Each structure stands twice: as structure tokens, then as C-alpha cells.
Structure 1
Amino acid sequence: MRADHRRGRSRRNALVAVTALLAGGGGLVAVNYAANASDVTAAAPTTRSARAISCPDVKSKLPAVPRQAQDEVERNLELLDRQTAEAGRRLAETRGQGGPDFIQNAILGPLADKRKATIDRISIAIGRSAAEPTGLDGLAACDLGLAAPGTQPSGAGAGAGQQGNDGPTAADFVDITKVAPNVRAVRRTAGASTGAFTSRCGTNERGQHNSDNDIVAPGVSNGAHHVHDYVGNKKVDFNSTNESLSAQRTTCTNGDQSAYYWPVLRDTSRRGPDANALGGGAEGNRGAILVPSTVTITYQGSPTGKVVAMPRFLRIITGDAKAFTNGTKNANAHWSCTGFENKVQLTDKYPICPRGSKVVRSFAFQSCWDGSNTDSADHRSHVAFPDARGNCAEGFKAVPRLTMRLVYKTPAAPNFAVDGFQGQQHNAITDHNDFINVMSDRLMRQAVSCINSGRRCG
């Protein structure tokens, strides 16, 4: 795999009155649907009811995908998602049209044909390096029914201060003063690298926002389906390349051109300016965006030895934006309050902080690198976390450990939430952070020297 691996992707079409829960070739597309002729028995023609195109999940039914096929399989899984979203858009745009068989003939039937061709390509790709999977044809057909509880249709009119049926609820918040201490320090060994290098990059007070993700969905507008805050590199979007990133200025005072971005936190008691926009309210992310009071970006060492330089354009994602449905394997969310960070870290709950204390989101990125790749097909395999003792696995090298600390003055619970995908309930466990290293080689050498010599610099 080339270290600077970039894939061309077609631009995602805007979804009109559609919201999508798309994960690995399955999907639920809910729409505000005025009954077609075939539905008059279920609802009067003037009745608006939430309907959904529901497709079987393909990713979960696949065998282990050979490394040689991962890139092609991933592209086709994303194509399945786009096909489902496009069918949902057509369902919304043609409401009230056609006869009894209109939806099946004009929407569901063509969707099944497209999905079958795409699933066949996935099978063939796997079959070039391993046994070709069988029995996937039954995953092509999708059906139409009432949207599942918890799916909030776009434009449903949820007022300011509400996330609709997509969470969070009061049960997603916990009084941090009532949580038992759960933080344990990692012991350092002789030879540990104890220094720290800090980049001061501001808090995104200028409001650089978009719902793109250049790591996961390069070339795809609105590829994240939720809004990101950005600090560091001043121009990061779905069109970014290594060349464009290296040509941009930065908000960091030391010249660090790296891209640091994370999903915004919102005050859901107030209406935001993107209430009807993709990435924002049109996809369930409602409320006014909160600007952090402080953002601290620090590179730290290894508790068991020295670190080596990160390669320029290394890409790292920490956490899982779909951890609510995917499970905790890749989750890496940490929530706390000022004054409690060394005692309590929450993973799947938002904190209720005492008077005078502020909400803290913190991230510690993977700090073991495979020594050759700046990215990988799943955007994870080229980096890893050290083990419980702080050691990297065989074949991996310790690099500076990027840590980030975001502090917020939030409204009272439960009136704040992190942006996320539909169906993830805006759960605290879905918090995540993205990073593209665009430090100059000289600045990275300074950081490594500082960390390995036990100094604090920046």
C-alpha cells in the first residue's frame, strides 16, 4: 500500500428530506412521506408518516476480507450506502406519485438490482485471494415500512433544544461526584521518554466548520454527516490533499500545519444556524455549536522507552463514531469535569459537573506505528495502542503520543450533546477525534528531541 494512498470518490449528492443510518452496506433511510397510492389503507393521503427503506447489512455477513481486497471491498460497501441514500431521496421526492406498484417498480426494484451488482463485485474481490463467499444474493433486496423507533425523520420539526428521538436523554448523564474513582496511572520504567511538546492552536474561535472527513471519505462532500471543529491547518475539507495541506497556513503559533478536528459539541437548548443543513439539523444534529474555552494539544512520550518521529501526513482516527451500534472495540471516549480528571473518566455517559466545574473531553491517540504506512484501508491497522505496560507490539514503533483536552462551559444537563450519525443516539461513547500530521520534518524532530530529553517545549 502506498504511504500517501488517496482514493478518488464521487461527490455525495445532497439528500432532500432524507436522513440515513448507513453502516457497511445496510441502512435505514427515514423520510417524511405523504402516502403514495399504495398506502392509502395505511394512512389517508394527507397524513404524513415516517417511512423507511430498510436494507440488510452486508458488512457483518462477510468473511475475513483478505488485505489485498480490503480497499475494493470498502469502496463497494460505501457504494451500497450511497445507493440506499439515493433511493431514500427518490422516495421523498416522488411522494404521492404513481400507482400501487410505483415504489416497488421505480425505487425498491432498481435499488435491489444495483445492490446485487455491487455485492457481486465484493464477492469477486474477495474470491481473488480467498474462497469466494456464498449466499450474499439474499442481501440485495430492501423493503419499506414504518421507521424504527428512535429514527428522527429530517424536517420533522423537532424544536430547538431537542435531539428528537435520537437522544441523548437524562439517563445519558451522570453526576460525576457520585462516580467512584476509576483512573489508574501507568508506571514508567527506566529509560522512559518523559518530556512533552505542545502546539497552541486556538479553540476554533473563527468557526472553521464542515461536515467532511478527508481521512474516511476523501472526495466526498458531507462525508461525515456531522459537523467538525478544526484547529491547526486553515483549509481542511473533502478536497484536501497532502499538497494542499502543506501549502496552507495554520492557527498554531509554532507553525504546526497539522489538521486537528473533532465533532462539535452543541447546546441543544438553542437553535443553531445550521438547523436545516446537511451535517446539522437535517441529519439530527440540532442546537447551537459550543466553542471550547480551551483546547490543549500535547505530544507525550512512551513510559517504556524513547519515541521516533511520526511520518509527515500520518493519519490517525481515535474512537468510533458508531460505537453505540458497533460496540466498544474501537471506542476511546473520555468525559470528565475540571477538578475530577485524575479521579474519574466516563466513557458512555456525559458528566454533570458541580458548580464552578466545566465539562472536559479528552483524547489519547494511538502511539504505536507500523513503521511504513501513513494510512490503511480501515484507517486503523497502521497504528495501534500500546499494551497495559506501555509496550508496542512487535513490528510497531513508539511515536509521540498525541493527547488533546477540550474544556467547555455547557448548559445544564441534558441540554448538550456531541454531533454524530443518525441512530447513534448522540451517545457519549461515540466521541472521536481525527488527526493528520502536517508538521514539517524539522518541527517533528524538535518535538521528538524535546520528548526524549525530558523537557517541556512548544
Structure 2
Amino acid sequence: MQWSSLLALALGAGTVRAMLRFSCSELVIERLDPLVFPGDNPSPHLHQVVGGNAFNVSMDPENDLPGLSDCTTCTFTEDFSNYWTAVLYFRARNGTFHRVPQMGNQFLEQADGGMTIYYIQPYDGTKVTAFQPGFRMLVGDPNERTYTDSLESRQLSFRCFDANFGGEAGAPGTGADTRELPNRPCLGGIRSNIFFPTCWDGVNLDSPDHRSHVAYPTSGSFEMGGPCPSSHPVKIPQLFYETVWDTRAFNDPNEWPEDGSQPFVFSMGDPTGYGQHADYVFGWKGDALQRAMDANCNVMCPQLQSQDTSIANQCKQQRVVNEVVDGWVDELPGTNPITYV
């Protein structure tokens, strides 16, 4: 389902409270991946990370993230989960690269970059089971360079915002999503949309590939009550990451490739966008997430403790990997080559 259709459903009568929606400011830009490459310092490509400041190179699933964290970049102070995605770079005509910063969601309090996080429930009123301590999963394949039309690939998309971002043309719910990175200048930035699986096997908190313990509905869509497969019968919230990449400084046509192709590339060397992916490590305190789900919370959730965005913005983590990731660089961090297949 396109994000515009999902938002329209959420704004319909009696359904607006079915999306827990909040900002998580940038915690660190770091070449670590404790889910896929635990213990590797550095990991192959750069990520943007938000959430609790217990994020580290290994992230032992036995660790108590709320107990190890001193702060969180998220609005709700009981959420010490970590959420991360690959980083977007601009490739100039001369072959150099510049990291594209993230923009906070204009429709929430202004966060310092990062992402907007959603926990979505079915609109038919079906209850969901919140994730449990030790739960983790990922979505997307960093090696993809073509569209496969799989259940997973349908959950990954982009939106090219016009200059009046925040106005009618740039507001969520308007325009059209694309599966690949937009091939025209996006004067209001590029929004990345990543939807996670919504069905759980009810037993395993993780799996060797970090995805086999979860699944998408067998037909229809989760938000419209699509059934879970018998192998994964437990409905879990639909986790959704929304990142707005601030491409406004990179729209000079004189800096774009001479052939007119789009100039943005993800940190793993993906110029198509089909390889975008995301990781999740659960870290909510106690039963906080289940309480929020049971209460059908939206942006405001009196069942949860919250903090001002100005406080969340102060939660930062020192980069562990000693490398240059900002300014103009001659190659992507990790010397990842740009690949089209």
C-alpha cells in the first residue's frame, strides 16, 4: 500500500488513533551494524542511527537496553530501542561525495534530523502483540539493484517533495511514491518509506537471517486486516520508518551527471534505491509499548512518558569508527564501489 493511501485511512473517522507516531532525532552517524555484523568494527557501510544511547558494536540480545541507556533521542522516554538505515550521499559531477543530512518531520516538533517512527495497528480494531525484550528484525536487501515485486520490495518506496514542503504539494498523502530513487530534482527533499513485516511466529525473537521469524500478510494488507500466514499467526504492530533526506543543497543541475541521471547513492554503493534497508532492535521499557497499543495512541499518548524535542536532540553518541563521513570526500566510507547489478 502506498503511504498516501495509508495516511488517508488513518485520517478517516474513528481510525486516527491507530498510529503511534513520534520523532527520533539523530543519535549517531556510524559505520557499525550490530545486527548483521555484530562485533565488526567497522561494518561495511555507514548508517544513521536513532534511539537509545546504549547502541554499540555488538548489541547482545541479552542486554537490557533501558537499563543500559542514559537517554533516548525519541519523544517517548520509555523507548530505548534502536532504529537505523543506510545513509544517503550526493555524488557530484566531479566524482566526489557529500553526505545528505536528514530533516526532522515538519508536522511534529522539530527534531535534529533522524527519523519519524510509526507503530501502526490494523484499522479493523484487531489487537496486536507488542514486541518482546530481545526482539529484532530487518527489512530490505542492501545488494538489490532491481525491483523484484516481492512482498518485501513492495514495502520500500520514496517520495519526491516539491519546494513548498509542508504545503499541499509537499504534504504526506499527495503525489506519488516510486520504488526507485527519484530521477528529478526534489526541491523539498526526498522521503524514504520503509515498512516492516507484521506477523510473528510467536516463538523466536530473532532468526539467523533476522527475517524468517516474521512475515507479511498472505493477502491484502496489514492495515486493512490481511490475514497472517499460519506459520506466523501473531499480529505485531507495523513498524514504519520515515526519513526525509534534505536534498535542497544538491539541486544545482550543473553538479548533476551530464547525462541527466539522478546523483544520489546510498552508503552501500546503491544508486537505484532498490537496496534501501532498515534494522530494528526492540528496547521499550517494561510494558510501555503494549500499553500504547492497547490505548490506540497517536501523536499524543498520555499512557507514556515523553520529553521535549529539545531534550531528545541533546542525546548524542560519540562516533566509534575514526573516519571522515561529512564534507566532500573522494569515496564512500568503507570504499564501497557504486554498483548497478
> In which range does the TM-score fall when normalised by the shorter chain?
0.5 to 0.7
The 1:354–1:213 alpha-carbon spacing in structure 2 relative to 1, beyond 3 Å, is closer
Equivalences for residues 341-420 of structure 1 within 5 A? 341-342=172-173, 343-353=175-185, 355=187, 357-386=188-217, 387-390=219-222, 391=226, 392-394=228-230, 395-410=232-247, 411-412=250-251, 414-420=262-268
Q: CA deviation at 1:244?
A: 6.1
The 1:312–1:182 alpha-carbon spacing in structure 2 relative to 1, beyond 3 Å, is closer
1:253 is aligned to 2:75: yes
Within the candidate set 83, 100, 123, 1:290 is matched to: 100
Equivalent-residue separation in structure 2 for 1:333 and 1:385 (angstroms) = 13
Aligned to 1:450: 295
Aligned to 1:214: 34
| RMSD over aligned Cα atoms | 3.3
Within the candidate set 139, 142, 158, 1:335 is matched to: 158
Equivalent-residue separation in structure 2 for 1:359 and 1:212 (angstroms) = 24
1:193 touches 1:307 (CA, 8 Å); kept in 2? no
Within the candidate set 222, 241, 248, 2:60 is matched to: 241
Structure with larger RCO (C-alpha < 8 A, sep 6+): 2
The 1:454–1:335 alpha-carbon spacing in structure 2 relative to 1, beyond 3 Å, is closer
Identity percentage of aligned residues? 23
Q: CA deviation at 1:196?
A: 2.0
The aligned amino acid for 2:42 is N
Aligned to 1:317: 138
2:81 touches 2:280 (CA, 8 Å); kept in 1? yes
What is the DSSP-based 3-state SS (H/G/I as helix, E as strand, rest coil) of the residue aligned with 1:441?
coil
Aligned to 2:335: none
Q: CA deviation at 1:241?
A: 1.7
Normalised by the length of structure 2, the TM-score is 0.65
1:269 touches 1:287 (CA, 8 Å); kept in 2? yes
Equivalent-residue separation in structure 2 for 1:370 and 1:220 (angstroms) = 29
Equivalent-residue separation in structure 2 for 1:379 and 1:455 (angstroms) = 29
Matched residue count:
256
Higher helix share: 1
Q: CA deviation at 1:419?
A: 1.3
Equivalent-residue separation in structure 2 for 1:296 and 1:433 (angstroms) = 13
Equivalent-residue separation in structure 1 for 2:264 and 2:4 (angstroms) = 25
Within the candidate set 11, 18, 25, 1:195 is matched to: 18
Q: CA deviation at 1:231?
A: 0.7
Aligned to 2:320: none
Equivalences for residues 89-100 of structure 1 within 5 A? none
Equivalent-residue separation in structure 1 for 2:93 and 2:118 (angstroms) = 32
The CA deviation string for residues 397-420 of structure 1, in whole angstroms up to 9 with x for no partner, is 111111121112211253322211
Equivalences for residues 404-443 of structure 1 within 5 A? 404-410=241-247, 411-412=250-251, 414-421=262-269, 425-443=270-288
Q: CA deviation at 1:437?
A: 0.9
What is the DSSP-based 3-state SS (H/G/I as helix, E as strand, rest coil) of the residue aligned with 1:352?
coil
The aligned amino acid for 1:415 is P
Normalised by the length of structure 1, the TM-score is 0.50
The 1:400–1:340 alpha-carbon spacing in structure 2 relative to 1, beyond 3 Å, is same
Q: CA deviation at 1:381?
A: 0.9
What is the DSSP-based 3-state SS (H/G/I as helix, E as strand, rest coil) of the residue aligned with 1:216?
coil
The aligned amino acid for 1:253 is T
Give unpaired runs (5+ residues) of structure 1: 1-180, 272-283
The aligned amino acid for 1:198 is R
The aligned amino acid for 1:237 is N
Equivalences for residues 65-144 of structure 1 within 5 A? none
* Higher-Rg member (1/2): 1
The 1:415–1:366 alpha-carbon spacing in structure 2 relative to 1, beyond 3 Å, is same
Equivalent-residue separation in structure 1 for 2:286 and 2:88 (angstroms) = 33
The CA deviation string for residues 127-181 of structure 1, in whole angstroms up to 9 with x for no partner, is xxxxxxxxxxxxxxxxxxxxxxxxxxxxxxxxxxxxxxxxxxxxxxxxxxxxxx9
Aligned to 1:32: none
The 1:429–1:385 alpha-carbon spacing in structure 2 relative to 1, beyond 3 Å, is same
Give unpaired runs (5+ residues) of structure 2: 105-114, 162-169, 257-261, 305-341
Q: CA deviation at 1:433?
A: 1.0
Q: CA deviation at 1:442?
A: 2.5
The aligned amino acid for 1:260 is Y
The CA deviation string for residues 226-247 of structure 1, in whole angstroms up to 9 with x for no partner, is 1000110224232222316341
